[in-house]
Chains A and B, each alone.
Chain A
Amino acid sequence: MPRKRGLMAPPPSFIWTRRIVLTALSVFALVPVYVMVSSSLKPLQDVTSTFRWIPSPLTVTPYRDIWYTVPLARYFLNSLIVSSAAAAASVAVAVFAAYAVSRYGFRGKRIFTTAVLSTQMFPGILFALPLFLIFVSIGNATGIPLYGSRGGLIITYLTFSLPFAIWMLTSYFESVPKALDEAALVDGCGPVRALFRVVIPAALPGIIAVTIYAFMTAWGEVLFASVMTNNTTRTLAVGLADYSTQNNVYWNQIMAASLVVSVPVVAGFLLMQRYLVAGLTSGAVK
């Protein structure tokens, strides 16, 4: 939303501060991106010797080689399955929880919201091992393989984005006028139908934003991916380390692979940033 702070044009001192500071920050933000893109286009000997600012000669072979040096396609597929399933499940669970929090008064509401948000505080390292042991025990007792399977990782990841998803969706749902779903209830809809027919369509941008956020959370997680996966279920977060062998570090391929794995989430994030700001704003105003 464009806005002017005052009525007057800002003084030159402000304009110059703005130019200098914003330029410096842009350089800081973009240099690693430039290094990634330019190095991914260099032959191997150019990334093992002194750093060169401009890549020459240019080559795209790293983009072909990344798929052969390491089973990148498999890691990519694993990450895609795990992250999509975790995001979808997280949002599905969060939609109902957020609907309850925003539309009903009930005993324990504050405790629930506080407890859910407080899980963000737990050091992952504290429950990584117990969770691993619990998954192994459940597997031994019931035969449901949670450890080493994608299912276990999906369940874990969906809870990581759940607190933020519930919090964001609650604030989105509260911006949907209550009169709308009350009207639907009067017309004879059940609460679940009112949620699906009225509230969800009205809050759709928020739901999409939260889905992308949940996807990104799962896509970038490292600790549980390194504890809970095996050779066949390994995700990108762990698999990218495979480009460093004892003899050689294929930096050009590492950069190419980093770019390939970043594209889906960066694109998603930049598409939804507007909705994310809107959600944060209504959350902050509350």
Chain B
Amino acid sequence: MTETARPAPFAGADAQDDDSLIARFAAGDQSAARLLTERHLGRVLALATRMLRDTAEAEDVAQEAMMRAWRNASKWEPGRAKFSTWLHKVALNLCYDRLRKRRSASLDDVAEPVDDRASAQDGMEADERLTVLKDAMEALPERQRAAIQLRHFEERGNDETAEILGVSIEAVESLLSRGRRALRDKLAGQRALLLEE
């Protein structure tokens, strides 16, 4: 089993705000980089994994998003934007790029999109239920999928979701509503499977 590192909780002795940590990192304090990584890497990775359904690609996206944070640390303007919002926006755009490349690759019939379906088709019920859900999510338009990721999984507010997606708050509600309705319809025939314990 892969060794994993759980993100550190927000509260406690390390609960310094992100702006201060970015400033500390820009001044050469490596411990600030560790705190920022522990705080944000898990969520960025989860977002990328759900968007891309490929662990290796999601890790690349998470690493690249963090790299852009390090490279831009000296230019960071405290209070202008929320660091986690900026970071998620970067990660989401990297995901969009990769999804676009996949689409053009599949149009050229170069290779099948890489995903984790094979590992989920081992006959285990939980995996089967999860696969049904992932397939349904993958079939959604990107922005509907992203809106559901940010609101449901990340528990971000409408205003922050709107900022990350670059749309209005009304558009977020519309994306969520259409996305979840489409999910519900896709899962309608699978409801018994999805809800069984």
Query: Do A and B come together as binding partners?
Result: no
Chain B interface (Cβ < 8 Å from any Cβ of A): none
